[in-house]
């Protein structure tokens, strides 16, 4: 990111450069550990010039955070074509690309930034979560999601976030396995909810009907079927009416 040679830039171009430099530095180290002097050196400009464009490190951090949040939100964009399981796998792959590329920056984004956090940082994080939620709801094709579906999707978005943060601390589970497991987690959460609610059952039956046997969700059903012979039979009188 270092320019090496100073050159005159327009205001917008210089601000964009500083945001990019800061985001790169924050991606590898905690924002609390990165100084304005380091940012200035990486950008090939003087410390006072950094303050000419940003009043302090927090404002520069928040600008970098916004760029990261916008990029992360875009990772959830996916064409509404093909089985849901395959779409979610592609989304999770791009999500973990971002997590792996940005590391410390992702942790800072999801944990609210430097010590003390800020209302701006918290709003950006909430915006990413809302964007992810809206994208998943759109893929399910449910214009007015029932309360249980909203709970499932928001819970899954939180699960993906916390899983990624834990994975960064050592990467003990192979990334590809984790991406697939999170897709399975979504189906499992939704299926449990479907066991309690007829509308959710209809949504999940439609989803599974469109899944190929060799797709991610088809694989989940195969894995779960191995457990079926060992599972105790459930008396029909204990099942919801719509599942009998």
pLDDT tens for each residue of 62-111: 888 888 889 999 999 999 999 999 999 999 999 999 999 888 778 777 76
| Segment 230-240 mean pLDDT | 55
Q: Which own/partner pairs from 220-226 qualify as long-range (CB within 8 Å, at least 24 positions apart)?
A: 220/183, 220/184, 220/187, 220/188, 223/184
Block residue for tokens 């894995």: 223
Q: Which residues contact 81 (CB under 8 A, 6 or more apart)?
A: 87
pLDDT of 233 reads 58
For 21-68, the pLDDT digits (tens) are: 988 888 777 778 889 999 999 999 999 999 999 998 888 888 888 888
- Say how far apart CA 98 and CA 75 lie, in whole Å: 8
Q: Burial of 237 by CB count in 10 Å (0-12 exposed, 13-18 middle, 19+ buried)?
A: exposed
Q: Which residues contact 150 (CB under 8 A, 6 or more apart)?
A: 133, 137
- Say how far apart CA 204 and CA 218 lie, in whole Å: 13
Give the residue, 243 or 111, on which the prediction is more confident: 111
pLDDT of 239 reads 46
Q: How far is CA 169 from CA 19, 164, 191, in A?
A: 26, 9, 30
**Which of the four pLDDT bands, split at 50, 70 and 90, describes residue 5?**
very low
pLDDT of 121 reads 79
**Which of the four pLDDT bands, split at 50, 70 and 90, describes residue 242?**
low
Other Cβ atoms closer than 10 A to 130: 13
Examine the pLDDT at 122 and tell me if it is beyond 90: no
**Which of the four pLDDT bands, split at 50, 70 and 90, describes residue 241?**
low
Give the residue, 122 or 91, on which the prediction is more confident: 91
Examine the pLDDT at 150 and tell me if it is beyond 90: yes
- Say how far apart CA 63 and CA 20 lie, in whole Å: 10
DSSP codes, 82-150:
S-HHHHHHHHHHHHHHHHHHHTHHHHHHHHTSSTT--HHHHHHHHHHHHHHHHHHHHHHT-SS--HHHH
pLDDT of 39 reads 93
pLDDT of 26 reads 82
pTM of the entire structure? 0.81
Per-residue b or e along 209-236, where b marks 16 or more CB atoms closer than 10 Å to that residue's CB = eebeeebbbebbeeeeeeeeeeeeeeee
Tokens (6 digits) for 243? 């599942």
**Which of the four pLDDT bands, split at 50, 70 and 90, describes residue 222?**
confident
Examine the pLDDT at 16 and tell me if it is beyond 60: yes
Cβ pair 47, 37 in contact under 8 A: yes
Examine the pLDDT at 145 and tell me if it is beyond 60: yes
For 153-206, the pLDDT digits (tens) are: 999 999 999 999 999 888 999 999 999 999 999 999 999 999 999 999 999 999
């Amino acid at each position: 990111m270092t320019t090496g040679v100073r050159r005159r830039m327009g205001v917008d171009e210089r601000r964009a450069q500083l945001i990019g430099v800061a985001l790169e530095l924050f991606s590898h180290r905690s924002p609390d550990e990165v100084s304005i002097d380091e940012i200035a050196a990486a950008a090939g400009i003087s410390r006072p010039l950094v303050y000419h464009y940003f009043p302090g490190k927090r404002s520069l951090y928040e600008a970098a955070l916004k760029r990261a949040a916008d990029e992360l939100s875009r990772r959830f964009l996916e064409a509404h074509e093909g089985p849901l399981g395959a779409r979610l796998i592609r989304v999770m792959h791009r999500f973990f690309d971002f997590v792996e590329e940005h590391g410390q920056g992702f942790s800072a984004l999801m944990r609210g930034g430097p010590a003390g956090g800020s209302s701006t940082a918290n709003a950006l994080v909430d915006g990413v979560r809302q964007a992810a939620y809206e994208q998943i709801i759109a893929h399910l094709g449910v214009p007015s999601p029932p309360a249980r579906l909203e709970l499932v999707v928001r819970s899954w978005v939180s699960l993906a976030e916390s899983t990624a943060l834990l994975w960064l601390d050592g990467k003990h589970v192979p990334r590809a396995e984790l991406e697939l497991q999170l897709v399975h987690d979504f189906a499992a959460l939704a299926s449990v909810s479907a066991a309690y609610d007829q509308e959710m059952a209809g949504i999940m039956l439609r989803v599974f009907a469109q899944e190929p046997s060799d797709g991610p969700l088809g694989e989940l059903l195969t894995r779960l079927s191995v457990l079926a012979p060992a599972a105790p039979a459930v008396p029909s009188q204990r099942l919801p009416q719509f599942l009998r």
